[in-house]
């Protein structure tokens, strides 16, 4: 019951972590400066090339002089758009709508500045041939305010040019924000997964200690002092090795089996004449990666239900093979049909193995168990085959 409650609590904790909205940060919505500045230059350069090309194709007089004037206003447009970029970078409302409204609003004064520069270039500093005629007509129509009218008229036409870039900037920022949110969500998922792996790993040692201390108690009660001392030393070696390992660590299959031999040394003290261990492992699989202590609950299970109840010799066999890109491990043990059946345990061991594999690898890994054809008990587990770098 307690174990079920603990698993339910762990699942609830993971669900809350994944459902929680990530904290918003203005920096998430900022566009990479290279992208922003590059888009500004590209936009104005494209405008210059298109208008100059159309002028050449249509045979506009004094085209090269017009191109020079246009180059000046393009530089002014780049500077005004860069100022807009700086303003948008510093003002980042949280909602997308507010961000877009701020961008479109900030474009207004800069468009007016740009339209003013445009007026001075084409009408005062480097006047076009028809400038005098246009000024005369505007002064007659709007005496005393003709410049303002020209600037406003030009601003209305140019505003949409600035607005397109501002909207593009906000879109880039929104994309950056979504990427930041996704990175944060992936981080939460990884943390939740690692937390579950740690929890499952830390359940192994208490389970193992419970069984080992019971065995040690039995040796003390029988007065087997030397066997008890040997078991304590073996237990110390095993715990020193296993507790120093990161629970998320992958180890080679060879190292995992070496850890299990430390555990079997403990059990060998209890059953010196009854326990036999056989390992069949091809050399090419010795460096295959497995989760650390993944075999521990399986070996414990074999000892408890196979070796402990009987008086005769019981073999525990481990066979490793590679099948269709998977590492397949088969652990089977003999069972004496005449021996009494031990009391059922907590149900933690084999379920723990399956849960750890599914948590780390997903549906590509698994664990099954049940009676074998020869009357024993067999556990099969499989996981993606990967190897350590030699």
Model pTM score = 0.49
Of 82 and 63, which is predicted with more confidence? 82
What is the phi/psi pair of residue 11, to 5°? -65, -40
Task: Dihedral sign for Cα 58, 59, 62, 65, please.
Answer: positive
Find residue 317's DSSP bridge partners: 278, 332
SS3 276: strand
Highest mean pLDDT of the ranges 7-21, 148-162, 322-336, 339-353 = 322-336
- b or e along 30-53 (b: 16 or more beta carbons within 10 Å of the residue's beta carbon)? bbeeeebeebbeebbeeebeeebe
Calculate mean pLDDT across residues 71-85: 89
Q: Does the domain made of 224-384 have the CATH classification 3.65.10.10?
A: no
Highest mean pLDDT of the ranges 192-206, 266-280, 354-368 = 354-368
What is the phi/psi pair of residue 384, to 5°? -60, 135
In what helix (H) or strand (E) does residue 326 lie, and over which residues does it extend?
strand 326-333
- How confident is residue 22, by pLDDT bands cut at 50, 70 and 90? very low
Q: For the chain, give every residue range classified as CATH 3.30.565.10.
A: 224-384
Report the C-alpha dihedral over residues 214, 311, 367, 323, rounded to 10 degrees: 140
Q: Can you tell me the distance from the alpha carbon of 308 to that of 214, in angstroms, rounded to the nearest whole number?
A: 12
| Burial of 284: CB neighbours in 10 Å, binned 0-12, 13-18, 19+ | exposed
Lookup: tokens for 378: 């067999």
Q: Is pLDDT at 227 greater than 50 in this prediction?
A: yes
Q: Can you tell me the distance from the alpha carbon of 181 to that of 241, in angstroms, rounded to the nearest whole number?
A: 40
Find residue 382's DSSP bridge partners: 328, 366
Percent of the chain whose pLDDT exceeds 70: 76
Q: Can you tell me the distance from the alpha carbon of 140 to that of 293, in angstroms, rounded to the nearest whole number?
A: 93
Whole-number pLDDT of residue 17: 41
In what helix (H) or strand (E) does residue 147 lie, and over which residues does it extend?
helix 146-222
Q: Is pLDDT at 100 greater than 60 in this prediction?
A: yes
- How confident is residue 6, by pLDDT bands cut at 50, 70 and 90? very low
Angle between helices 63-90 and 96-119 (to 10 degrees): 150
Calculate mean pLDDT across residues 225-233: 81
- How confident is residue 273, by pLDDT bands cut at 50, 70 and 90? confident
Highest mean pLDDT of the ranges 128-132, 211-215, 228-232 = 228-232
Q: Can you tell me the distance from the alpha carbon of 188 to that of 195, in angstroms, rounded to the nearest whole number?
A: 10
């Amino acid at each position: 019951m307690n174990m079920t409650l603990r698993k339910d609590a762990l699942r609830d904790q993971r669900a809350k972590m994944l459902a929680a909205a990530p904290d918003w940060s203005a920096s998430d919505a900022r566009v990479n400066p290279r992208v922003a500045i590059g888009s500004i230059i590209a936009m104005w350069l494209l405008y210059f090339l298109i208008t100059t090309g159309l002028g050449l194709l249509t045979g506009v007089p004094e085209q090269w002089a017009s191109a020079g004037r246009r180059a000046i206003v393009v530089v002014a447009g780049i500077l005004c758009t860069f100022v807009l970029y700086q303003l948008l970078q510093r003002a980042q409302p949280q909602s997308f709508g507010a961000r877009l409204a701020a961008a479109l609003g900030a474009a207004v004064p800069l468009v007016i500045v740009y339209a003013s520069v445009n007026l001075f270039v084409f009408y005062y500093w480097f006047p076009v041939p028809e400038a005098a005629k246009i000024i005369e007509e505007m002064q007659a129509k709007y005496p005393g305010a003709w410049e303002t009218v020209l600037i406003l008229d030009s601003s209305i036409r140019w505003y949409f040019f600035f607005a397109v870039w501002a909207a593009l900037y906000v879109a880039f920022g929104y994309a950056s924000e979504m990427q930041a949110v996704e990175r944060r969500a992936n981080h939460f998922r990884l943390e939740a997964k690692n937390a579950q792996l740690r929890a499952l790993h830390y359940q192994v040692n208490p389970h193992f200690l419970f069984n080992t201390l019971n065995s040690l108690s039995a040796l003390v009660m029988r007065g087997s002092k030397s066997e008890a001392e040997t078991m304590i030393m073996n237990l110390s070696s095993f715990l020193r090795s296993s507790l120093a390992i990161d629970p998320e660590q992958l180890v080679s299959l060879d190292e995992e089996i070496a850890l299990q031999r430390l555990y079997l040394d403990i059990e060998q003290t209890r059953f010196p004449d009854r326990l036999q261990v056989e390992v069949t492992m091809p050399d090419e699989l010795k460096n295959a990666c497995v989760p650390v202590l993944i075999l521990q609950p399986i070996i414990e299970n074999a000892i408890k239900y196979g070796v402990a109840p009987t008086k005769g010799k019981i073999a525990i066999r481990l066979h490793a093979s590679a099948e269709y890109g998977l590492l397949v491990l088969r652990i089977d043990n003999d069972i004496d049909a005449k021996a009494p059946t031990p009391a059922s345990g907590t149900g933690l061991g084999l379920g723990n193995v399956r849960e750890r594999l599914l948590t780390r690898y997903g549906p590509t890994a698994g664990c099954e168990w049940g009676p074998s054809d020869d009357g024993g008990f067999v556990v099969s587990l499989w996981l993606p085959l990967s190897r350590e770098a030699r």
